[in-house]
Structure 1
């Protein structure tokens, strides 16, 4: 999937070299514990109400702990309406998706881009902040240089968004895949430089 959203450029400055191992089992335990600071409902409330106040650890728990599965038909419809520049319809579909799947990166990127093009700064800031918090969680999950330090993405779609953030053109790179403990590894060859991304399917479904 090729990502060409103008909005992506707004997030390039957010790329950080800091990374930390993601403990998926610990995240799963914390988000299910009502007494934990990282209980899913607590984090979701802050994410929806004041996304700018979400810290990096909370964002990580939210991204890797909140299962999300977007209706394929709706995903196709939002892309088609966005391409036709029918932003009103695209926004309506995006809003309906985010009610059920508030952490879906593709929908967040499209809805932010719609508001960017409509020059609606308030909504742009709200949704782009949510997007940035989640993409920062992915960027801090590893450095992508080895299997052990691979970036962790919740889906192939998120993987392509991550590559766009890293200013990499997926269609210009070679890729090979192999099974991993939690899903699969994609190894991208960028003119001899490898980028490792782990897709953790079992946390999504």
Structure 2
């Protein structure tokens, strides 16, 4: 997919500094406690209706807490694959249809949200979904970009899916499809190392291997 050109992508960098500590154990406790302000369904409600009102801590628990919620899909989900195929064919009408169906199952996929924003921006910029997806996408991308700096395994950018790896690198102006990829399986996901010449970029993907 060609490089994304739209304002929100470039506005991210002025406010994103590597700062977040991601503790999945703590997040799991938070999002599964119905009495907590960080209970997953409470966070999801705010995200769906007023993403701008969410604190950094709320967004972090929402995004990384997905694996402890009901909002999980397979990497080979048919709506996701049809969404990607429609985008590749530049059939934005179909892409929007499949994207909407997929987001019902996985509302916090920043890759799908970002490309849905692009699709609506070209097909129907006056749609309320264009504004909502723009806000939701920016909210999640800010969270991801604060999760690390990509310079080491310890400070890897932390994402929930492989597709989001490629989205982040596209935003950073890198074409990691031209990089050599090395993957190290861990109990809670995978460390992906992308290298080219003297440049190395690290990602931690919190993708359960059973999803593949």
- Assess same fold via TM > 0.5: yes
From 84, 91, 96, the counterpart of 1:91 = 96
Counterpart Cα distance in 1 of 2:170 and 2:3: 9
Under a length normalisation based on structure 1, what TM-score does the superposition of the two structures give? 0.88
For CA contacts below 8 A with separation 6 or more, give which structure has more relative contact order.
Answer: 1
Which one is further off, 48-57 or 63-72? 63-72
Residue equivalent to 1:191: 197
- 1:188 match: secondary structure: strand
Residue equivalent to 2:34: 34
Report if aligned partners of 2:3, 2:170 keep a CA contact under 8 Å in 1: no
Residue 138 of structure 1, CA deviation: 1.2
Which one is further off, 127-136 or 194-203? 194-203
Residue 183 of structure 1, CA deviation: 1.9
Under a length normalisation based on structure 2, what TM-score does the superposition of the two structures give? 0.86
Counterpart Cα distance in 1 of 2:129 and 2:5: 13
**Cα deviations by residue, 1:120-149 (Å, 9 ceiling, x for unpaired):** 144322101111111111111111111111
Report if aligned partners of 1:184, 1:199 keep a CA contact under 8 Å in 2: yes
Report if aligned partners of 1:5, 1:113 keep a CA contact under 8 Å in 2: no
Counterpart Cα distance in 2 of 1:78 and 1:201: 20
User: Are 2:18 and 1:12 equivalent residues in the alignment?
Assistant: no
Runs of 4 or more, structure 1, over 4 Å off, are none
Residue 48 of structure 1, CA deviation: 0.4
Which one is further off, 193-202 or 23-32? 193-202
Report if aligned partners of 2:144, 2:157 keep a CA contact under 8 Å in 1: yes
Report if aligned partners of 1:154, 1:204 keep a CA contact under 8 Å in 2: no
Counterpart Cα distance in 2 of 1:133 and 1:17: 14
Counterpart Cα distance in 1 of 2:209 and 2:30: 14
Which one is further off, 77-86 or 152-161? 77-86
Residue equivalent to 1:171: 177
1:54-133 paired onto structure 2 within 5 Å: 54-67=54-67, 68-70=72-74, 72-121=77-126, 122-133=128-139
Distance of aligned partners of 1:42 and 1:7 in 2 relative to their CA distance in 1, 3 Å threshold: farther
